């Protein structure tokens, strides 16, 4: 029988379950097989929101669920998936939508942290080195488990002195070495001529120095909110009860022991209130962790140090479609990326102090910093009028309350139990969401004396959409489906699915794209929502039925990325999105007006003060 070496946490759990390593591996494979079978048997069709609500309301003091997760970002959804696949009864509640916070506002990178490697070497910091090792391993797992929406991306580091060439080449070769078997592709040096050919907008000179070449290395890229939604939906298919737009208004505590035993919830879609009882409550609310910690213990001191990460979207011609650019050291020492993403160029990020808010908006000085940082490295003028959208995310950097020196801010994650029955997970980064979930759930199992059926299996568990997906799926979609759309005069017009649309559906939904294509074909929803973007009307209906898309903002911001890519296009698509969602969810006129008004307020945070994104300078 195959033997495996278990991590310490898994080995401890194996001892608790009375298993040897071989039996642990067998049980893991059995659990993975059961989850895969369940997903295949349902064809990826998730239980309804009403089903989830019914299960959660059914919990009681005498019949609590095992784990209640508060927060539907990447980490919270990851915890729900991990718990469900271990055979635990788990519920997840999110006050807004899955990925509505920080998890939808990242730089879209799956990376090991090349900057941390530099710090590790120069500061002789083994902790930073361990972070890089771990992140590189997790990067590959994310790509492996969601290959339809995650892929390697080459990124160019321009060098304007020969010292830079040697320095960055050596540093990125060390990055390759640290990656070991988890390497995506070897980094390599490009002479100046090839660098300019592959990245035509790159400047030939900078600060009076000629371009000497570039070093290209590889990291991963993803669509963050779509990946988050798939994690939540996979958790639902595995048996978790997941509920977005459900807000915790208070925590329940045992009057004698003071243990947290559940939460009072308000359904923000219906205003109905109910209770959920659980053996362990996990706080995975990112920047909002301190507010929830104070519900559990009013004397808790803040551990979150919020930092703003602003981004700007520019037209596609700023970057080649398959090559990014990293500016490793701006004038004030920060790093800025220029990356191709969903047919546009995303540029960011900043790292400055921030207030905690539901709707963060980039400050004008942050936008100015980003534009100035890239202007020096490009041979075309960057103007405010080129901006299509802007957004900001709040990084939940954290200090460990149990550490002796609380002045240092952790780039790693923190698992903290400061109140019986209540565990907080915060810090970390998108790339390591899965292992963060594993760590906090292992703590919850020990703390709550839970009885899982196996150790963690998510390292090798494909997400919804990965089953049966292959890179050429888009060809099958283009050949097999004929989307039909209703014209203005009411006629039904069939037309062949174009390659751009087929590729979009394949990458966004994986094997589930066939369901979207069927709706487009059979329900006359094959029209594009807005000119210049591949998003179909059928996607609105599909996401309402099978991805818990409950509001117009859910769709324009997170099920598709229109708000993040082009705020004007999102505004143009909004009326039709609301019309289709109204048909799916049986909205009345008042609700449709509410949806429109809320979306307008939301979209306003994606505009700059100086220019309306995309407006002409003339």
Stated as kind and residue range, the H or E segment containing 314 is strand 304-314
The conformation of residue 571, written as its DSSP 8-state character, comes to: H
- Is 539 inside any structural domain? yes
**Domain that residue 330 falls in:** 153-221+306-392
- The pTM assigned to this predicted structure is 0.92
Same-domain status, 283 and 201:
no
Q: Tell me: cis bond preceding 349? Omega within 30 of 0 counts.
A: yes
d(CA 273, CA 247): 9
Same domain membership, residue 595 and residue 510: yes
How many angstroms separate the CA atoms of 141 and 554, rounded?
27
Q: Is 195 helix (H, G, I), strand (E, B) or coil?
A: helix
CA distance 183 to 490: 54
Q: Does residue 162 belong to any structural domain of this protein?
A: yes
Report the mean per-residue pLDDT for the chain: 91
CATH code for position 601: 1.10.8.870
Please indicate, yes or no, whether residues 385 and 402 belong to a single structural domain of this protein: no
Residue 591 forms part of a structural domain: yes
Is residue 144, in this structure, part of any structural domain at all?
Answer: no
pLDDT tens digits, residue range 447-502? 999 999 999 999 999 999 999 999 999 999 999 999 999 888 888 999 899 999 99
The whole-number average pLDDT for the span 259-268 is 98
Question: Last residue of a domain, which of 416, 448, 480?
Answer: 448
- Say if 613 falls within a structural domain: no
Select from 67, 94, 95, 64 the least CA-distant residue to 81. Answer: 67
Q: Are 193 and 287 in a shared domain? A: no
Would you state the pLDDT for residue 22?
57
CATH of the domain at 237: 3.50.50.60
Tokens, residue 504? 């979009």
Question: Which residues lie closer than 8 Å to 16 by C-beta, 6 or more apart?
Answer: none
In a domain, 42, yes or no: yes
Residues with Cβ within 8 Å of residue 179, at least 6 apart in sequence: 112, 136
Three-class secondary structure of residue 326 per DSSP: strand
Asked whether the predicted pLDDT for residue 130 surpasses 90, the reply is: no
Beta strands 273-283 and 65-70, pairing class: parallel
pLDDT tens per residue across span 343-369: 999 999 888 888 899 999 999 999 999
Q: Is 114 a domain residue?
A: no
Please state, in angstroms and rounded to a whole number, the distance separating the CA atoms of residues 400 and 448: 22
In the block, which residue shows the tokens 């000119």? 531
pLDDT band (50, 70, 90) for residue 330: confident
Q: State how many domains the chain has.
A: 3
Instruction: Report the pLDDT value the prediction gives residue 411, as an integer from 0 to 100.
Output: 62
Taking only the tens place, the pLDDT of each residue in 523-576 is 999 999 999 999 999 999 999 999 999 999 999 999 999 999 999 999 999 999
Q: Please provide residue 163's backbone torsions phi and psi, each rounded to the nearest 5 degrees.
A: -65, -45
Instruction: Note whether residue 456 is domain-resident.
Output: no
Q: Is 17 a residue whose pLDDT tops 50?
A: no
* Judgement on whether residues 291 and 424 belong to the same structural domain of the protein: yes
Q: Are residues 62 and 190 in the same domain?
A: no
């Amino acid at each position: 029988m195959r033997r495996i070496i278990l991590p310490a946490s898994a080995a401890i759990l194996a001892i608790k379950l009375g298993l040897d390593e071989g039996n642990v591996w067998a049980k893991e494979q059995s659990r993975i097989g059961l989850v895969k079978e369940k997903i295949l048997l349902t064809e990826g069709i998730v239980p309804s929101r009403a089903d989830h609500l019914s299960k959660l309301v059914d919990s009681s003091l005498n019949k609590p669920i095992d784990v209640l997760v508060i927060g539907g970002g990447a980490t919270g959804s990851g915890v729900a998936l991990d718990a469900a696949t271990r055979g635990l009864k788990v519920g997840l509640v999110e006050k807004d939508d899955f990925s509505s916070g920080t998890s939808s506002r990242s730089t879209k990178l799956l990376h090991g942290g090349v900057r941390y490697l530099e710090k590790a070497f120069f500061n002789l910091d083994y902790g930073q080195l361990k972070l890089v090792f771990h992140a590189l391993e997790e990067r590959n797992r994310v790509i492996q488990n969601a290959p339809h929406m995650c892929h390697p991306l080459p990124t160019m580091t321009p060098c304007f002195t020969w010292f830079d060439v040697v320095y960055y080449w050596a540093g990125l070769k060390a990055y390759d070495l640290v990656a070991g078997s988890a390497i995506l592709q070897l980094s390599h040096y490009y002479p100046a001529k090839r660098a300019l050919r592959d990245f035509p907008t790159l400047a030939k000179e900078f600060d009076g120095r000629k371009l000497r070449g570039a070093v290209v290395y590889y990291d991963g890229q993803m669509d963050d909110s779509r990946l988050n939604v798939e994690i939540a939906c996979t958790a639902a298919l595995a048996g978790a009860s997941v509920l977005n737009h459900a807000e915790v208004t208070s925590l329940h505590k045992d009057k004698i022991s003071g243990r947290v035993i559940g939460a009072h919830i308000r359904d923000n879609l219906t205003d109905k209130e109910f209770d959920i009882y659980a053996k362990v409550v996990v706080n995975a609310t990112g920047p909002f962790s301190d507010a929830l910690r104070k519900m559990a213990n009013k004397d808790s001191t803040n551990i979150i140090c919020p930092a703003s990460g602003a981004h700007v979207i520019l037209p596609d011609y700023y970057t080649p479609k398959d090559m990014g650019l990293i500016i490793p050291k701006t004038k004030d020492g920060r790093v800025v990326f220029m990356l191709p993403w969903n047919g546009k160029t995303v540029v960011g990020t900043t790292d400055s102090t921030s207030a905690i808010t539901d709707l963060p908006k980039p400050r004008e000085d942050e936008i100015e910093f980003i534009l100035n940082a890239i202007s020096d490295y490009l041979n075309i003028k960057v103007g405010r009028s080129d901006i299509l959208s802007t957004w900001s995310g709040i990084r939940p950097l954290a200090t460990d309350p149990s550490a002796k020196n609380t002045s240092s801010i952790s780039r790693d994650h923190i698992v903290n139990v400061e109140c019986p029955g209540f565990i907080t997970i915060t810090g970390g980064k998108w790339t390591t969401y899965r292992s963060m979930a594993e760590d906090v759930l292992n703590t919850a199992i020990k703390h709550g004396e839970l009885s899982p059926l196996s150790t963690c299996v998510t390292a090798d568990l494909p997400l919804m959409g990965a089953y049966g997906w292959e890179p050429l799926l888009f060809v099958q979609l283009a050949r097999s489906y004929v989307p039909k759309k209703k014209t203005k005069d009411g006629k039904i017009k069939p037309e062949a699915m174009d390659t751009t649309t087929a590729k979009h559906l394949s990458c966004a939904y994986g094997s589930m794209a066939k369901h979207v294509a069927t709706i487009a074909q059979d329900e006359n929803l094959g029209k594009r929502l807005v000119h210049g973007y591949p998003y179909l009307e059928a996607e609105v209906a599909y996401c309402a039925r099978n991805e818990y898309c409950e509001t117009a903002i859910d769709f324009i911001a997170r099920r598709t990325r229109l708000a993040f890519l082009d705020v004007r296009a999102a505004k143009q698509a909004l009326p039709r999105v609301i019309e289709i969602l109204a048909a799916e969810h049986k909205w009345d006129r008042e609700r449709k007006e509410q949806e429109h008004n809320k979306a307008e307020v939301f979209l306003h945070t994606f505009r700059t003060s100086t220019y309306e994104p995309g407006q002409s300078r003339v």
